[in-house]
Structure formats: structure tokens, C-alpha cells
Structure 1
Amino acid sequence: MTTEIENLAGALLIEMFMAVLLYGITTTQAYMYWWNYPNDSKLTRRTVVTIWFLETVHTAFCLDMIYSYVIVDFGNIARIEKIVWSVGATVLTAVIIAAIVQSFFIHRIWILSQHSLVMTIIPAVCLFLRVALGCATATLTWTIGYWPAFRTSIGPMFTLTTGLSLAALVDFIIAAAMIYYLRRSQTSSRRTAHLIRSIEAYVINTGSLTMLVSVAIVLTFTLEKGSLLFTGLVEIQSKLYANSFLASLNARQYLTESTRGTTANNFTTMNFASRLPTAFRTNNENGPTTHIELGEAISSTAEDVSCGSIVKRPPSPALSPVDSPHENGRERESKDQSPV
């Protein structure tokens, strides 16, 4: 019996430790964001608070679930096979968190694509279906009530596997679309190219991670019938979504500083993608003026770059010495210093 209990709940206990650790990282990131970006839009800041609050509630549900299995029902294999109420609560909360985060990234694509319905309608529909199937999965945990029946029933098999497959598809579409528009934004500027490569690496890493976890959940659910390993992966995936969202906000300062090559003292607070794209113009050293429409505005002294579309425009006419305030200032200074 000890081996059976260990196989059933042992992996789940370890995964709960990992989920709590990730929650600590989420809290740290939320704290860093709140103090480092006070000028972001109210919508973005409220979204951060909402994500952190939902993660706190989700963690509480996770702790209740693992406490029930390893403390309250310790040694009682019949009770461990029962699905406690907090399992469905964690699934429902995780679905809401993932939906908010994926909606946030779909909104980025909406901005980057110049409000293209073609590029946003497919992930939006997939996300809607994924939320519906996730809610159905949570409901089935409450109505079926026991793990053996839940693992063998057609309903949970369909809702869970299809829902997670759609979640992985949404992650893939988001990553592919963002990389596509970033590649279109390539310029001859080394700083711009470096920043775009950094954002591409981030998008690929975070998107691949959540996709791999979705695949792992489906595989463990269908193959590991005597283990709750898949349940713990569901909880970990929720934390990964929250951390990817917060990391995308907090990474702006690092990306700006790495592009500038300066310290944080020269950092300019940036507007975020909850607003319409903001237009900036920069002068490349060996090229025409670049007009950059920004979804997430990352400002720097030499150029303003972000996940946006970049359009080449003819260079503006140079200011004459008479029109240049700096030149006029230097002329006045030389006159003042000339001998009488």
C-alpha cells in the first residue's frame, strides 16, 4: 500500500513544492514591476495585480489539495482516490490565469499587425474554446468525484487533451506571429538588431516552455494512469504563464539598458502595449530616418525600438545654423567671449 500511495501522490507533492517556489518568483516579479514601472497604464497595472491575486488564490487551492492527500487522508488509499474539491478549483483558476496572459499576448499581436483580424482571430477563437474546455474539465472533477473514473471516462479525456492541445496551439501562434513581425522590423542599426534578437529569444523560450508542459500533461494523463503527476504539471503551468507575463514587463528595463550600454540612471520609463502604438522617430548613423510605431515602447537615446512595425521615411532636412538653438547658443557664447 505504501508503494501505491507513493506512486499516486509522491510526484504530486514534489510538484507542489515547485509550484510554491514559482509562486515566490511571481510575487517577487510583481513587486519589482509595481515599483519600477509606476507610469504604466492603469489597465496594465491592474492586470498585474489581478494575476498576482489569482496566483495567490491558486497557490492556496494547491496547498489545500496536497494537504488533503498527504495529511488528512494519509495511508487511506480509498480516500486518496477521491477527487477533493480544490482540484477543480485549481484547474479553473489556472485556466483563467492562462486566458488572461494569452489574451495579453494576442493584444500585442493585434498592435504589431496594425489591427489585422486575420492574425488575431485564429488565436482568439482557439483561446475561447480552450477556456470553455478548461471550465468543462473543472466541472467534471466535481461531478465524477473519483480519479479512476475520471482517468478512464471519455469526457475528461476529450476536454483535457483537446483543451491543452488548443493551449499549445495558441502559444505557438503567438510566438510565430511575434517573431514574424519582429523580423519585419529589422533595420541596419546594430542596436535595433540586438534588441530584436533578444526579444525573439525570450518569445521562443517562454512559448516553447508552456507548449512543452501542455504536451507533458497530455502524455502523463493518458499514459500514467496510476499517478497524479499530470495534476501537478497543471499547477506548474499556471505559474509559468504568470511568470512569463511578468517577465515580459520587467524585461523592458534590462533590454533598454543593454541596448544603450548605460546604467539604470539613464533609463527612461516606457509606455506599455495596453495603449495604441506610439510613434517615434530616430536617426540612424548611416541611413534615413526610421519611423517606429511601438506596441511596447522601449526608449533609448539613439533610437526607440520595440515590438512594432518599422517604416523607412526620407530624412528630415537638416537645420540651418540660424534655426539650430544649439548653434545659436554657441554663436552667442563666442560673441560674449570675443575681445571688445
Structure 2
Amino acid sequence: MSGQANDTMGAPGPLVFPLPTESADSFGALLIGTFLGVMLYGMAMHQLYRYNHLYPKDGLWLKALVYTTMALETAHVVLTMHLCYVYIVTDFLEPALKLFSIESGKLLPLFSGLIIFVSQLFFAVRVYTIGPQYQVFTLMTILLLAAELGFFIVATFFIFTASNFEAFHQQHVWLISAGTGIAMGTDLLLTALLAYGLHFSRAMRRSIDGTKALDIIIAYGINTGLLSSIFAIAAFVVVFPFEDYLVPTCMFILSTRLYANTLLGALNTRPSKMLRGVVGVSEARLFGRTTDVTQATGTAVDSLRMNPSYAGSLPSTVIRFKSMEGPVTSTDGL
């Protein structure tokens, strides 16, 4: 009996490592942000597939912009997944582990800044094409984007050279806040300019009476980057109340992932001559299509020959042709 009791008392029990509540909340925010970010990345990949299918003849500069953005998004997704794996699996029992002590965490600000800079160049060019009076605003937005990227690059440098997280947080964390604030301001400026131009475009005025209010709101949200602006504001607001940076990282992940989705969403909502068939002259110039509009729409001309009465009701700067999905109204390159 005593031997059995000694054996029972000598058996090792399970090791219990209590996790602080604040750490559990931080890990949960990081995990949720990563999961949602992967979902948004999947949506962006689907939009990239549609873009390649619908617009194979886009200009080289625009394709380079799209593929560069998606390459950066892919790297960003890998970094966030590695960050989750380190925090929750390999170094779960390291209470002193900080965001910027992990290599993937150190690179997140840099890749976020690059994604914002590259994707927002498209909307800056859109502002440029609205009219000559907007060229000053285009230059302003490009300078702001360059400043935003500069802050994130400098912040990344200090992250790698700082002795520890506390030293960086006390001396240089304002660089990330400044970069985020500039990105937010640039988003709002571009959204306001594009919304103004879209509202006063001829095509929008022609179609607004026959379009549902929800469709108009969706069109504005996609084509002006409104959604990414909202999340950029949220990311900027949550920087200050938290010191561990895992909770703000959740918002940064979502905000960064929306830039690629917004870019591809705006590109894919352009009229496609392959499926819906509206090609505007200004749109052909905006998106790098150097081919003459008449040559680029040979199939459209053939369709118009079969139905000449359909062409009489069209504006002079727009060529439409029928399809299974019906005609789509052009937005004059916006």
C-alpha cells in the first residue's frame, strides 16, 4: 500500500503555465487579423485572375503596378503568418517577446509602406487625368506618398538597429505613427478628389437617375478608395492606446490588405470590351492603351453593323456593343 502511495505521489503532474489575460487578448487580435488578412488576400488573388482575363492589353506600366502590388501583398501575408506561428507556437512561453524582436515583425512596416505607395500611385494618376487643374493635387499626393514611404523606411532601419523593443518604442515609434498619419491623409485627399471628379463626370450625371442609391455608393467606394481610407483612419487611431503593438497590428494588416483589393476592384470595374463592351477615348489613354479605339473594338464595330439602329443613340466618345450582360455606362476614365 505504501509503495503504491509513493508511486502515486512521485508521479509528475501536468505542467501549467498561466497566460496573462492581456497577452491572450493580444494574441487573439493578431490571430484574427491574420485570418481576415488571408481571406482578403484570397479575394485579391481572385480579382487578379479576373484582371488578367478581362484586360490582357493594358499598358505595361499598369501591369507592372498590379503585379508589384500583389508580390508585396504575398510577402506581407507570409510575414504575418510567420509572426503568428512564432508567437503562438514556437515561442508561446516567452512573455518578454515583443513584436519588433521577431524578424517578420521588423519587416512589416517596410512592406506596408511599399504596398501603400505602389497601389496609391494608380489613384494619383487617376486624379491627374481628371483635368489640368488637378495636376497640382497629383504632385501633392505623390510627395505625400514619398514622405509616407520614407517614414516607414527610416522606422525599419531603427527597428533593426535598436538594442531592444523598449528603446525603439521610447525614441522612434513616432516614425510609424507619422507614416500612418500621412498615409491616412493621402487616402482622404485622393478619395475626396476622385469622388468630386466622379460626381461631376458626364457619365455619372447621365446614369445617376436610373441607378439605385446602393449601386452608386458601391461605385464611389470602389473607385475612390473610400474603404481603404476608413481602415487607414482606424489603424491610425488605435496606434496610441496600445503599447504591445499586437492589437494595432491587427488593424494594420486589414488596412494594408485592402489597398490591393481596392486597386484591383477599381481596375476590374472598368468597362471591358471582352464582356460588357464600353470603351471610352479618355479611358483608353488613361490605362495605357495606345491602340486606336476603332482598331481595339473591331468586334464592337461588327456588332454595330448588325444592328445599326443601336449606334444612333450613343455619345460620340463612347462605343458600345451588346453582350449577355448588357451595356455598361462609361465613367469618362474615372
Question: TM bucket by the smaller chain?
Answer: 0.7 to 0.9
Aligned counterpart in structure 1 of residue 48 of structure 2, from 30, 33, 58: 30
What is the SS of the residue equivalent to 2:158? helix
State the match for 1:318 in structure 2: none
**Which one-letter code corresponds to 1:13 in the other structure?**
L
**Which one-letter code corresponds to 2:320 in the other structure?**
S
What is the SS of the residue equivalent to 1:224? coil
Identity across the alignment (%): 23
Asked if residue 267 in structure 1 is aligned to residue 287 in structure 2, the reply is: no
What is the SS of the residue equivalent to 1:252? coil
Deviation digits for residues 275-328 of structure 1, max 9, x if unmatched?
A: 38999899996xxx9665xxxxx853589732449xxxxxxxxxxxxxxxxxxx
How far has the Cα of 1:11 moved from its partner? 0.9
State the match for 2:173 in structure 1: 156
The equivalences for 1:117-266 within 5 A come to: 117-144=135-162, 146-151=164-169, 153-157=170-174, 159-186=175-202, 190-191=206-207, 201-204=218-221, 207-226=225-244, 228-253=246-271
Structure 2 unmatched runs, 5+: 1-17, 295-309, 322-326
Counting matched residue pairs gives: 291
State the match for 1:295 in structure 2: none
**Which one-letter code corresponds to 2:286 in the other structure?**
A
Change in 2 beyond 3 A, CA 1:189/1:86? closer
Aligned counterpart in structure 2 of residue 91 of structure 1, from 102, 106, 109: 109
Tell me how far apart the structure 2 counterparts of residues 194 and 277 of structure 1 sit (CA, whole Å): 33
Tell me how far apart the structure 2 counterparts of residues 175 and 103 of structure 1 sit (CA, whole Å): 13
Change in 2 beyond 3 A, CA 1:115/1:274? farther
**Which one-letter code corresponds to 1:202 in the other structure?**
A
Tell me how far apart the structure 1 counterparts of residues 208 and 319 of structure 2 sit (CA, whole Å): 11
Change in 2 beyond 3 A, CA 1:13/1:265? closer
What is the SS of the residue equivalent to 2:331? coil
Cα RMSD of the aligned pairs, angstroms, is 3.5
How far has the Cα of 1:67 moved from its partner? 1.2
Asked if residue 104 in structure 1 is aligned to residue 122 in structure 2, the reply is: yes
Aligned counterpart in structure 1 of residue 320 of structure 2, from 290, 300, 315: 300
Tell me how far apart the structure 2 counterparts of residues 246 and 183 of structure 1 sit (CA, whole Å): 21
How far has the Cα of 1:217 moved from its partner? 2.3
Residues 276 and 328 of structure 2 are in contact (CA less than 8 Å); yes or no, is this contact kept in structure 1?
no
Tell me how far apart the structure 2 counterparts of residues 291 and 192 of structure 1 sit (CA, whole Å): 20
What is the SS of the residue equivalent to 2:330? coil
Change in 2 beyond 3 A, CA 1:183/1:278? farther
Change in 2 beyond 3 A, CA 1:19/1:145? farther
